[in-house]
Structure 1
Amino acid sequence: MNGSFSRTALLLGDDGLARLAASRVLVAGIGGVGSYAVEALTRAGVGRLTLVDSDTIHPSNINRQLHALTTTVGQPKVKVMAERLLQINPSLQVIPLQELITPDNVPVLLASGYDLVLDAIDTFGAKLALLQNCVERQIPVISSMGAAGKLDPSRIKISDIADSQGCRLARKLRKELRRGGVSNGVTVIYSDEPCSLERLGEPETEGDRRPLGTISYLPATFGLFMASAAIKRLLG
């Protein structure tokens, strides 16, 4: 082990560090939550990562996304993130996939086999399909609920989705997962902080997707909570 992970080895032991180095993790969505989660995993010594996101970096990402700089606007998120991670750990095996996740391609994405999946995507249909497929394939999955419209990091919690409370997205997912025969087995990162519609913002024009109001530290904290849960799971 090189000196980069010497402090981690003191905490986890050489066996724990070796276990992380051998782990294969897929991270779906490399935005405000996913970018911080995947960097924390890399700095902890996770050795094999697949990054999936179809988007490029926009100026509106700069307030909360780790890879978003004035110099990276317009570049693919997965490409910029992969390059950044390799500067942290040149031995990292990282696969950047600039691909839109849909209900149709989720089975193909999961076919390679992973020790863990992190879900940080915000498209409901794709999110639901990813969670359902992970449970059916018995792949452990940790899913981020909505970080938009929130300000209080002390309200962030980790639980099984069956035990989550006060999160509208988790409630909606619970309902749809139950219809598909899934009642538990999905770890979620969520906030029970009440969220007014005013904080979320309004559509710019009729039919546009609502631009969500966010603050710099909340998605980052979600991502770090996600990395914490992931590392504990990978270490058993």
Structure 2
Amino acid sequence: MNSRVAVIGVGGVGSWAVEALARSGIGHITMVDLDEICITNVNRQLHAMDGQIGRQKTDAMAERALAIHPRCDIRVVPKFFNEKSAAEILDEGFDAVIDAIDHTRHKTLLVAECHRRQIYAVTCGSAGGRRDPTRIRVTDLAYSGMDQMLLQLRRSLRNDHGFPKTPMGQKPPPFGIDAVYTDETPWYSQCDGTVSKDRPEDTTQRLSCTSGYGTVTHLIASFGFLAAGRVLDTLASRA
């Protein structure tokens, strides 16, 4: 398959998406990320293994993808996607983009630019604190529920990038952007060491790998596989 696909963010979701794309025979894969593999990534990120800690995530996944699919044209971009790098990255000309960015402002920029350039994009919501993969959904971004990151993304796209607003009392018009998200409410760590659906009084608690709960492999891999699946379905429909 000669399609050109970019995965922006090669951490938890992105690493599993790259795996699925490589094993599905995608001809050109570009990976964009500046992060290095950390010991705290081992619970959920495909490239986080003994001997890999400290390596660039993109380099580790490029090596793995080529071992799977030696004919694949792999491009590594060791940068974060932001206002300075957006044009350089997207000017390569992609058939599809998987957004696996955690930073809301940069996520908004990526989705808006893909929409403007008419590049198919699938964006991924929050997985922190969740553990039930059967609650994952795929739908148009306009209908992606109360996922807080996607809620902020929709608001920014409507307010700052001309995406359609919802008329009073009517169903939101679609964005034309697919979204992978979960409708599961997060689990929070409590002071006594247990976990609960009750949000702690300390509302500054973040669900990350250094505080609160991160996520688990079976859930975050499902996000990546579903995102890759939507890309593959879309590319196949154009063939």
TM-score (norm 2): 0.84
Residue identity opposite 1:194 in structure 2: T
> Where does structure 1 lack aligned partners over 5 or more consecutive residues?
1-20, 204-208
1: distance between equivalents of 2:141 and 2:236?
21
| Separation of aligned partners in 1, 2:212 and 2:91 | 33
Matches within 5 A, 1:213-224: 213-224=214-225
Partner of residue 39, structure 1: 19
Aligned equivalents of 1:91 and 1:211: distance in 2?
Answer: 41
Conservation of the 8 A alpha-carbon contact between 1:103 and 1:130: no
Instruction: Give, in whole Å, the separation in 2 of the partners of 1:112 and 1:212.
Output: 37
Distance of 1:214 and 1:162 partners within structure 2: 25
* Aligned ranges 1:67-78 → 2 under 5 Å: 67-78=47-58
CA offset digits 1:44-70 (Å, max 9, x no partner)? 111100000000100000111101102
Moved more, 42-51 or 189-198: 189-198
Is 1:116 the equivalent of 2:117?
Answer: no
Q: Distance in 1 between matches of 2:20 and 2:142?
A: 27
Runs of 4+ off more than 6 Å: none
Kept in 2: contact 1:57–1:74 (CA 8 A):
yes
Matched, 1:143 2:143: no
Deviation at 1:196, TM superposition (A): 4.4
Is 1:190 the counterpart of 2:191 in the alignment?
no
Task: State how far apart, in whole Å, the 2-side matches of 1:160 and 1:131 are.
Answer: 13
Q: Which residue of 11, 29, 51 corresponds with 2:9?
A: 29
Determine if contact 2:188/2:213 at 8 Å carries over to the other structure.
Answer: no
> How far is the alpha carbon of 1:136 from its aligned partner?
0.8
Q: After superposing the two structures, state which structure 1 stretch, 66-75 or 99-108, moved more.
A: 99-108
| Residue 54 in structure 1 maps to residue 34 in structure 2 | yes
Q: Which residue in the other structure is 1:181 paired with?
A: 162
With 115-124 and 162-171 compared, the bigger mean Cα shift is at 162-171
Q: CA deviation at 1:111?
A: 0.7
- Name the structure 2 match of 1:232: 233
- 2:188 & 2:131 partners in 1: Cα distance? 14
* 2:145 paired with 1:165: yes
Q: Which moved more, 1:190-199 or 1:139-148?
A: 190-199
Find out whether 1:202 has 2:193 as its counterpart.
no
Tell me, yes or no, if structure 1 residue 107 matches structure 2 residue 87: yes
One-letter amino acid of the structure 2 residue matched with residue 214 of structure 1? T
CA contact (8 A) 2:188 2:212 kept: no
1:153 match? 133
SS of equivalent to 2:30: strand
Alpha-carbon distance between aligned partners in 2 of 1:210 and 1:229, rounded to the nearest angstrom? 32
Unpaired runs of at least 5, structure 2 = 165-174, 190-194
Q: CA deviation at 1:212?
A: 5.0
* TM-score, normalised relative to structure 1: 0.85
- Residue identity matched to 1:77: K
State the Cα RMSD in Å: 1.9
Displacement, 1:160? 0.6
CA distance in 2, matches of 1:174, 1:121: 15
Percentage of matched positions with identical amino acids: 37
